C-alpha cells in the first residue's frame, strides 16, 4: 500500500475540517465576553460551530450544553475520519476513542463516589461506550464504584478493574489508576499491520506522551499522595521515548520535588517545572499540553503523508474544546481575561 | 365478495362480569375492538329506551375511560420461577382458560407455595455458592502442592503473613526489577496465560506497606481455606468430601421441590395461559368506557361470526348483557372505518401477503387478490417457463409450507412453480434444455418477435382490465367524478383505447388518421384537464359550485397540465413495460445457451455435467428471483396504480394465539 493512496483523501478531508478551527481573533473576542450565553452566541454566530449550535438557545445555555455539543461534534468529525481508513488503521483511530472514554469513565466514577446523580454531572460524557461498546445507560445506573466495575463487564476494561472488587480497594484512586494502566496496556499490546513509518511515528508519539505523564505522575505522587517509591514506580507507564526503566526508577526514588526537578532538567523535560511556580503545579498540565501542541505542529510539517496528520487534527480539536470550556468556566467565575490566558493551551 | 362484510357489535353489562366477558370475547377471537367513546358519541349510536336499557342509558353521559393499569410483574416473577423450578415449558392452551375460574383466587393459592419454594431455592443457591468456594480453594491449593507441609501452619503464622496472589506478567516484571526494595519473600509458583501466581511471606509489621505495593500491581488474593489442618492433599480431600455432602443436601432439596411439582403440576401448567389471558384483558380495557355500574365496549365483527359470538355470550351471561348489533353506516370515517378482512379461497390466499405489502384494501374497495394472483401467476409463468426448474420451485414451496410452516411464502412459491411447469410444457423447456420435450405452443428463442408482441398485447389487455376494475371501484365508492373524468377513469380508459387504435391504424395498417378520432382524443384530454370544474358542475348541488371554482387557481391548472403529460408518458411506459415478460422468457433460454456452450467446451463428461448443474442453479436462483421481483413490479406499478389504493385498515381481531403443537417433554 502506498502512502499517497492511503493519505491523499484523508489529508484533503483534514484540511477542510481544519478550516473550522477558531482563529486568534476568535479567542481574544471570546475573552472579552462577560457571560456564558454571550460566548455561546458568539460561537453560534461567528464560527464554524454555527451548524451544531443552531438548535441551542443561547440565553439559557449551560456549560454542560456547550460541552455536550462540542464533544458530539468532535465524535462526528472523528467518525468522518475513521470512514477514510481501512483495516488496522481503523483500529488505531478507534483507540483514540479509548483515551476519551477513559477520561469520561473517570469523571463518572468521581461523581458516583461523591454521591452525585448522573444528570447532575457537569461534563458531557459523550464518549462513554464509544470504544467499549457498552451501553452508556448501563453505566449511568451504577450507584457504587463496584456497580460501575460490573457494568463494564464485556469490555476490555473489565480485566483491569475486576481485581479491585475483592477486598478494600474499590476506591476512586485505584479505579483511576487501574484504568490508566489499562489504557497503556491496551495500546501497547495491540499489533497493528500499518506502514512502518506510521508505526515508528506512533511509537515515538506514544512514548513522548508516556514520558510526560510519567513525570507528571511521579511529581504528583510525591507531592500530594505521599506514595512510596515502590508504589510510584509500579504505577508508571511501562514504556517511554526517553525515560527508560532506570531513569524512571531514579526519578521515583528522588527525595523531594526539588530533587526531582533537578533530575529532569538533565533530561529534555526540564521545562515542565518552573522554579517560581513549583508550589502551584496547576500549570504543569497546561505546559504539557502546550508542549504537545507545538510538538504536533512540528511533526505535522515534517511528516505530511502520515498518521500524524490525523492525530494532530484530533488533538487540536480536543484542545480547542478544552480551551472553550476553560473560557466558559472562567467567565462564570469572573476571572479577568489576562488571568484566563494562563489556563489556555492556545493563548490568544 | 372477497372483503368480508362487517357489523358493529356493542356489549353493555355490569362491571363485575367485565373480565369474564372479555375472556369469552378473546377466546372467540373475532372482535376488532374500537374505542368505545368514539362509538357512543357517534351520531348513529342508538340504544332503544326500553325498560331494560333505561338504567344503562342513565349512565351514558358520565362514562369514563378505564385508567388503572394493573401491574403483573409480581405474578410474572412467580410464574417464571415455577417454570424454571419445575421445568415447565411456557405453553398457551385454550383448555386452561376455557374453564370458568376467578383469576385472583386462582393466583392467590400460589403465593404461599411461592414463598416456601423461594426459601428452598435460596438454600440451594447458598449451597451452590459454598461448593463454588470450596472448588476455588481446591484450585488454589494446587499451587502449593509442591510444599509437603501442613498448610494451616502457614496460614496461622503469628508474626508473618502468608498469601497466594495473582498479578499480570507485566506487573511481575516490574516487581522483579525492583525486588530489592520489596519487603517480602516472593516465590513464583505458576504462570497461567497473562498472569503469574506468587506466594508471598512478609512480616506482619510491614503488611500495610506491602498491601499498598501489591495494590499498585493490581493484585488478586487467592483465598485459602481457614481452620483446616493437614497437608495440601489432606485438606483437598476434606474439601472434596464436604462438596459431596453439599451436593447430597442439594439433591434432597431438589427432591422436596419435585414433591411440590407432583402435587401442583396440573394447576401450575395453567398459570402461564391464565396470566397471558389476564394481560390481554388489561390491554383491551383501554378501549372500554366505564360508567358507575356498567361497561360499554364495541367492536367490528365479521357478519358470518356475529351469531356465534352472540350465542356464546348469551349462553354464559344470560340476560345480564345488552348486545347491540348494528349495520355499518356510511360514510366511513375515523375510528368508525370498518377494518378489512380478506376472504379468499385457499388457492389465492398466500397472495394476500403480497397485496398487503402494497396496502390493505379499504372496506368498500374490491379486493384485488384474485386478479392479482391470476395475473401474477400468468406473468411469472410466461417469464420463467421451465418444467424442471418449476418442479424445483414447487417442491421447495411445498417443503416450506408444510415443514417449516412458512405458509405465505411457501404457498406463493409452490403456486409459482406450478405455473412455471405449465408454461414449461407450452415452451417445451426442461432445465433449460429444449431437446427433451416438444413445444406445445411456441419456442421463445425461434420466435423472438412473436414473443415480444404477445407480451405487449398481454400487457395492453391487463391494463385495460385494470382500468375497468378501477372504474367499477370508483362507482362503488360513489366517486363519480374520478370514475368518469379521471385519468384512470372512463375518460382515461377511452383515451387509451382510442390511442391504441390510432397507433395500430397508422403504424401497422398504414392508413391515415381519422379526424373524428383525433378530435375525440383531444377532447378527452381537455376533459381530464378540467375534471375539477366539470366535476363540481355536474355532480354537486348548486351551492358549492362557486366555491370550488374559486378554489382552483392557475397553479392547479399548471399542476393538472403536468399531470396530463405524466399520464401520457406513463401510458407509453406502462405498455412498453410489458415487453419484459417476453424478454425474460428469451433471457431464460439465453442464459441456458451460454452455460451449454461452456459445457460443450469441457473435455470430460463429468465437467460437462458439472457446468450444466451449476448453470441451472445459477439460473434457478438468480433468474427466479429477478423474475419474481419484475413480475411484482409490473403488478404494483403498472396495474395497481390504475385501480387500487390500498388505504384500508387491517382486521386485527382480539385473540390469543394458542399453541397447537403438543410438547412431548411436559406431555401437555
Nearest chain A residue to B218 by CA distance is A163
Percent of chain B with pLDDT over 70: 94
HSE-up of A113 (CA within 13 Å, CB side)? 15
Mean pLDDT, chain A, integer: 85
In the predicted model, is pLDDT for residue B299 greater than 50? yes
Percent of chain B with pLDDT over 90: 13
Mean pLDDT of B12-27: 86
What band does B664 get if pLDDT is binned at 50, 70 and 90? very low
DSSP bridge pairs for B297: B11
- Report pLDDT for B391: 94
The CATH number given to A93-191 is 1.20.1690
- Of chain B residues 138-197, which have a CB less than 8 A from chain A? 170-171, 173-175, 177-178, 181-182
In the predicted model, is pLDDT for residue B665 greater than 70? no
- Of chain A residues 135-164, which have a CB less than 8 A from chain B? 160, 162-164
Asked if residues A320 and A74 have their Cβ atoms less than 8 Å apart, the reply is no
A181 touches chain B (CB under 8 A): yes
**pLDDT per position as a tens digit, B369-380:** 888 999 999 999
Asked if residues A328 and A31 have their Cβ atoms less than 8 Å apart, the reply is no
**pLDDT per position as a tens digit, B443-463:** 888 888 888 999 999 999 999
| CB nearest to B181's CB, from A181, A230, A238 | A230
In chain B the domains, ranked by start, together with CATH numbers, are 6-66+288-336 (3.30.70.2170), 149-230 (3.30.70.100), 351-643 (no CATH)
Residues A234, B170: C-beta atoms closer than 8 Å: no
- Report pLDDT for A68: 85
In the predicted model, is pLDDT for residue A265 greater than 60? yes
Asked if residues B451 and B444 have their Cβ atoms less than 8 Å apart, the reply is yes
| CB nearest to B220's CB, from A166, A230, A234 | A166
A174 chain-B contacts, CB cut-off 8 A = 215
| CB nearest to B170's CB, from A228, A238, A249 | A238
Residues A228, B217: C-beta atoms closer than 8 Å: no
Mean pLDDT of B320-345: 78
**To the nearest 5 percent, what fractions of chain A are helix, strand and coil?**
70, 0, 30
Mean pLDDT, chain B, integer: 83
- Report pLDDT for B461: 92
- Report pLDDT for B540: 58
Kindly report the backbone phi and psi dihedral angles of residue B150, in degrees, each rounded to the nearest multiple of 5, phi listed first.
-75, 120
Which among B418, B398, B420, B419 has a CA at the least distance from the CA of B409? B398
A245 chain-B contacts, CB cut-off 8 A = 177
Max Cα distance, chain B (Å): 123
A325 touches chain B (CB under 8 A): no
B105 touches chain A (CB under 8 A): no
In the predicted model, is pLDDT for residue B544 greater than 80? no
> What distance in Å separates the CA atoms of residue B28 and residue B26, rounded to the nearest whole number?
5
In the predicted model, is pLDDT for residue A341 greater than 70? yes
- Report pLDDT for B543: 45
> Best mutation site among A176, A177, A188, A234 for testing chain B: the one with the most B CBs within 10 Å?
A234
Residues B216, A185: C-beta atoms closer than 8 Å: no
> What distance in Å separates the CA atoms of residue A312 and residue A318, rounded to the nearest whole number?
10
Residues A234, B209: C-beta atoms closer than 8 Å: no
> What distance in Å separates the CA atoms of residue B33 and residue B284, rounded to the nearest whole number?
8
- Report pLDDT for B541: 47
Residues A230, B220: C-beta atoms closer than 8 Å: no
Question: Which residue has 413490479 as its cell numbers?
Answer: B633
> Best mutation site among B218, B222, B224 for testing chain A: the one with the most A CBs within 10 Å?
B218
Mean pLDDT of B590-603: 86
Question: Which residue has 415447565 as its cell numbers?
Answer: B88
Kindly report the backbone phi and psi dihedral angles of residue B229, in degrees, each rounded to the nearest multiple of 5, phi listed first.
-100, 150
Strands B220-222 and B6-14, bridge-based pairing: unpaired
> What distance in Å separates the CA atoms of residue A81 and residue A292, rounded to the nearest whole number?
21
Of residues A171 and A37, the one with the higher pLDDT is: A37
- Report pLDDT for B432: 84
A233 chain-B contacts, CB cut-off 8 A = 174, 178
- The answer, yes or no, to whether ipTM is higher than 0.85 is no
Residues B178, A230: C-beta atoms closer than 8 Å: yes
DSSP assignment letter at B328: P
| CB nearest to A234's CB, from B209, B213, B220 | B213
Mean pLDDT of B162-190: 88
A230 touches chain B (CB under 8 A): yes
Residues B209, A181: C-beta atoms closer than 8 Å: no
Please confirm whether the linkage preceding A104 is cis (ω < 30° from 0): no
- Report pLDDT for B334: 59
Mean pLDDT of B235-249: 90
Q: Is the pTM of this model over 0.95?
A: no
| CB nearest to A234's CB, from B216, B220, B221 | B216
Question: Which residue has 497546561 as its cell numbers?
Answer: A286
Nearest chain B residue to A226 by CA distance is B212
Lowest mean pLDDT among A272-286, A293-307, B146-160: A272-286
Which among B557, B550, B575, B559 has a CA at the least distance from the CA of B634? B575
- Report pLDDT for B332: 66
A87 touches chain B (CB under 8 A): no
Residues B170, A185: C-beta atoms closer than 8 Å: yes
For B640-643, the CB contacts below 8 A with 24+ separation are B640/B358, B640/B368, B640/B466, B641/B488, B641/B570, B642/B463, B642/B466, B642/B467, B642/B469, B642/B470, B642/B488, B643/B368, B643/B466, B643/B467, B643/B469, B643/B470, B643/B473, B643/B488
Residues 6+ apart with CB under 8 A from B296: B10, B11, B12, B36, B40, B63, B288, B289, B290
Give the gap in angstroms from C-alpha A291 to the nearest C-alpha of chain B. 29
Domain boundaries, chain A: 93-191, 195-306
| CB nearest to A228's CB, from B175, B177, B212 | B212
Residues A234, B219: C-beta atoms closer than 8 Å: no
HSE-up of B222 (CA within 13 Å, CB side)? 22
> What distance in Å separates the CA atoms of residue B488 and residue A76, rounded to the nearest whole number?
49
Residues B181, A238: C-beta atoms closer than 8 Å: no
Residues B209, A164: C-beta atoms closer than 8 Å: no
What b/e sequence results for B322-334 when a residue is b if at least 16 CB atoms lie within 10 Å of its CB, and e otherwise?
Answer: bebeeebeeeeee
| CB nearest to B174's CB, from A164, A169, A234 | A234
Which among B4, B100, B94 has a CA at the least distance from the CA of B341? B4
- Report pLDDT for A170: 58
> Best mutation site among B172, B194, B213, B215 for testing chain A: the one with the most A CBs within 10 Å?
B215
> What distance in Å separates the CA atoms of residue A171 and residue A182, rounded to the nearest whole number?
16
> What distance in Å separates the CA atoms of residue B200 and residue B163, rounded to the nearest whole number?
5
Residues A234, B217: C-beta atoms closer than 8 Å: yes
Nearest chain B residue to A163 by CA distance is B220
Nearest chain A residue to B177 by CA distance is A245
In the predicted model, is pLDDT for residue A294 greater than 60? yes
Q: What's chain A's length in residues?
A: 348
Residues A233, B220: C-beta atoms closer than 8 Å: no
Question: Which residue has 509442591 as its cell numbers?
Answer: B146
What b/e sequence results for B96-116 when a residue is b if at least 16 CB atoms lie within 10 Å of its CB, and e otherwise?
Answer: bbeeeeebeebbeebeebbee
Give the gap in angstroms from C-alpha B306 to the nearest C-alpha of chain A. 50
Residues B216, A245: C-beta atoms closer than 8 Å: no
Residues A178, B218: C-beta atoms closer than 8 Å: yes
Asked if residues A241 and A208 have their Cβ atoms less than 8 Å apart, the reply is yes
Amino acid at each position: 500500500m502506498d502512502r499517497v493512496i492511503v493519505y491523499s483523501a484523508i489529508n484533503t478531508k483534514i484540511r477542510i475540517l481544519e478550516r473550522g478551527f477558531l482563529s486568534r481573533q476568535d479567542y481574544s473576542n471570546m475573552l472579552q465576553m462577560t457571560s456564558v450565553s454571550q460566548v455561546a452566541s458568539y460561537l453560534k454566530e461567528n464560527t464554524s460551530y454555527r451548524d451544531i449550535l443552531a438548535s441551542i438557545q443561547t440565553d439559557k445555555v449551560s456549560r454542560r450544553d456547550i460541552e455536550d455539543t462540542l464533544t458530539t461534534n468532535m465524535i462526528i468529525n472523528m467518525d468522518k475520519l475513521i470512514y477514510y481508513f481501512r483495516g488496522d488503521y481503523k483500529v488505531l483511530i478507534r483507540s483514540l476513542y479509548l483515551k476519551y472514554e477513559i477520561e469520561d469513565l473517570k469523571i463518572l466514577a468521581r461523581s458516583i463516589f461523591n454521591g452525585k446523580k448522573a444528570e447532575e454531572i457537569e461534563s458531557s460524557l459523550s464518549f462513554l461506550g464509544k470504544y467499549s461498546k457498552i451501553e452508556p445507560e448501563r453505566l449511568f445506573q451504577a450507584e457504587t464504584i463496584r456497580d460501575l466495575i460490573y457494568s463494564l463487564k464485556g469490555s476490555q476494561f473489565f480485566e483491569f478493574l475486576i481485581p479491585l472488587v475483592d477486598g478494600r480497594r474499590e476506591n476512586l484512586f485505584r479505579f483511576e489508576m487501574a484504568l490508566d494502566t489499562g489504557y497503556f496496556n491496551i495500546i501497547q499490546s495491540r499489533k497493528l499491520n500499518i506502514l512502518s513509518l506510521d508505526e515508528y511515528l506512533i511509537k515515538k508519539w506514544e512514548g513522548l506522551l508516556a514520558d510526560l505523564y510519567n513525570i507528571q505522575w511521579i511529581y504528583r505522587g510525591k507531592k500530594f499522595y505521599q506514595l512510596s517509591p515502590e508504589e510510584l514506580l509500579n504505577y508508571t507507564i511501562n514504556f517511554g521515548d526517553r525515560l527508560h526503566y532506570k531513569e524512571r526508577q531514579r526519578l521515583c526514588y528522588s527525595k523531594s520535588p526539588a530533587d526531582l526537578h533537578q533530575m529532569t532538567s538533565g533530561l529534555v523535560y526540564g521545562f515542565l517545572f518552573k522554579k517560581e511556580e513549583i508550589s502551584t503545579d496547576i500549570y504543569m498540565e497546561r505546559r504539557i499540553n502546550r508542549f504537545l501542541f507545538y510538538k504536533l505542529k512540528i511533526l505535522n510539517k515534517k511528516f505530511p503523508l502520515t498518521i500524524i496528520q490525523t492525530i494532530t487534527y484530533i488533538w487540536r480539536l480536543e484542545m480547542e474544546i478544552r480551551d472553550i470550556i476553560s473560557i466558559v468556566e472562567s467567565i462564570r467565575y469572573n476571572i479577568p481575561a489576562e488571568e484566563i490566558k494562563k489556563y489556555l493551551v492556545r493563548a490568544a | 365478495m372477497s372483503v368480508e362484510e362487517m357489523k358493529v357489535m356493542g356489549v353493555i353489562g355490569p362491571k363485575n362480569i367485565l373480565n369474564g366477558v372479555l375472556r369469552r370475547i378473546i377466546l372467540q377471537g373475532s372482535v376488532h375492538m374500537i374505542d368505545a367513546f368514539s362509538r357512543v358519541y357517534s351520531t348513529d349510536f342508538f340504544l332503544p329506551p326500553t325498560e331494560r336499557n333505561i338504567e344503562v342509558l342513565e349512565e351514558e353521559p358520565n362514562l369514563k375511560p378505564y385508567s388503572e393499569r394493573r401491574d403483573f410483574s409480581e405474578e410474572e416473577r412467580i410464574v417464571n420461577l415455577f417454570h424454571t423450578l419445575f421445568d415447565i415449558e411456557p405453553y398457551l392452551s385454550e383448555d386452561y382458560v376455557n374453564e370458568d375460574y376467578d383469576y385472583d383466587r386462582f393466583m392467590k393459592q400460589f403465593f404461599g407455595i411461592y414463598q416456601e419454594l423461594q426459601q428452598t431455592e435460596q438454600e440451594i443457591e447458598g449451597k451452590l455458592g459454598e461448593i463454588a468456594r470450596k472448588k476455588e480453594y481446591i484450585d488454589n491449593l494446587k499451587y502449593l502442592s509442591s510444599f509437603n507441609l501442613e498448610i494451616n501452619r502457614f496460614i496461622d503464622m503469628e508474626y508473618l503473613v502468608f498469601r497466594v496472589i495473582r498479578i499480570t506478567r507485566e506487573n511481575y516484571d516490574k516487581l522483579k526489577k525492583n525486588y530489592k526494595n520489596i519487603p517480602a519473600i516472593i516465590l513464583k509458583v505458576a504462570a497461567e496465560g497473562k498472569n503469574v501466581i506468587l506466594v508471598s511471606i512478609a512480616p506482619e509489621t510491614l503488611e500495610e506497606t506491602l498491601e499498598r505495593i501489591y495494590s499498585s500491581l493490581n493484585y488478586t488474593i487467592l483465598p485459602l481455606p481457614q481452620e483446616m489442618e493437614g497437608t495440601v492433599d489432606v485438606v483437598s480431600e476434606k474439601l472434596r468430601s464436604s462438596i459431596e455432602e453439599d451436593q447430597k443436601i442439594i439433591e434432597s432439596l431438589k427432591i422436596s421441590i419435585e414433591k411440590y411439582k407432583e402435587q401442583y403440576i396440573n394447576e401450575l401448567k395453567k398459570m402461564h395461559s391464565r396470566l397471558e389471558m389476564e394481560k390481554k384483558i388489561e390491554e383491551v380495557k383501554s378501549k372500554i368506557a366505564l360508567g358507575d355500574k356498567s361497561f360499554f365496549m364495541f367492536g367490528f365483527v365479521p357478519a358470518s361470526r356475529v351469531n356465534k359470538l352472540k350465542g356464546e355470550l348469551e349462553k354464559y351471561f344470560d340476560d345480564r348483557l345488552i348486545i347491540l348489533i348494528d349495520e355499518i353506516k356510511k360514510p366511513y370515517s375515523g375510528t368508525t372505518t370498518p377494518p378489512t378482512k380478506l376472504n379468499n379461497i385457499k388457492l389465492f390466499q398466500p397472495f394476500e401477503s403480497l397485496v398487503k405489502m402494497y396496502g390493505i384494501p379499504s372496506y368498500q374497495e374490491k379486493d384485488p387478490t384474485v386478479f392479482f394472483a391470476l395475473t401474477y401467476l400468468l406473468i411469472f409463468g410466461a417469464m420463467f417457463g421451465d418444467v424442471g426448474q418449476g418442479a424445483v420451485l414447487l417442491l421447495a414451496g411445498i417443503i416450506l409450507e408444510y415443514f417449516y410452516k412458512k405458509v405465505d411464502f411457501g404457498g406463493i412459491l409452490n403456486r409459482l412453480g406450478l405455473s412455471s411447469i405449465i408454461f414449461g410444457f407450452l415452451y417445451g423447456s426442461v432445465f433449460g434444455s429444449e431437446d427433451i420435450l416438444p413445444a406445445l405452443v411456441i419456442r421463445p428463442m425461434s420466435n423472438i418477435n412473436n414473443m415480444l408482441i404477445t407480451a405487449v398485447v398481454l400487457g395492453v389487455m391487463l391494463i385495460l382490465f385494470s382500468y375497468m376494475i378501477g372504474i367499477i371501484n370508483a362507482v362503488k365508492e360513489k366517486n363519480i367524478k374520478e370514475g368518469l373524468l379521471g385519468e384512470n377513469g372512463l375518460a382515461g380508459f377511452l383515451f387509451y383505447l382510442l390511442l391504441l387504435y390510432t397507433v395500430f391504424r397508422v403504424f401497422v395498417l398504414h392508413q391515415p388518421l381519422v379526424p373524428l378520432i383525433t378530435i375525440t382524443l383531444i377532447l378527452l384530454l381537455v376533459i381530464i384537464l378540467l375534471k375539477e370544474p366539470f366535476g363540481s358542475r355536474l355532480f354537486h348541488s348548486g351551492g358549492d359550485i362557486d366555491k370550488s371554482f374559486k378554489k382552483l387557481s392557475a397553479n392547479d391548472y399548471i399542476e393538472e397540465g403536468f399531470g396530463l403529460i405524466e399520464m401520457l408518458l406513463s401510458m407509453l411506459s406502462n405498455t412498453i413495460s410489458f415487453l419484459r415478460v417476453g424478454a425474460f422468457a428469451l433471457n431464460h433460454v439465453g442464459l441456458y445457451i451460454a452455460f451449454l456452450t461452456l459445457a460443450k467446451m469441457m473435455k470430460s463428461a463429468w465437467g460437462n455435467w458439472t457446468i450444466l448443474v451449476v448453470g441451472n442453479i445459477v439460473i434457478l436462483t438468480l433468474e427466479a428471483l429477478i423474475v419474481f421481483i419484475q413480475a411484482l413490479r409490473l403488478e404494483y406499478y403498472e396495474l395497481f396504480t390504475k385501480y387500487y389504493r390500498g388505504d384500508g385498515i387491517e382486521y386485527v381481531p382480539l385473540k390469543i394465539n394458542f399453541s397447537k403443537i403438543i410438547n412431548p417433554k411436559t406431555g401437555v
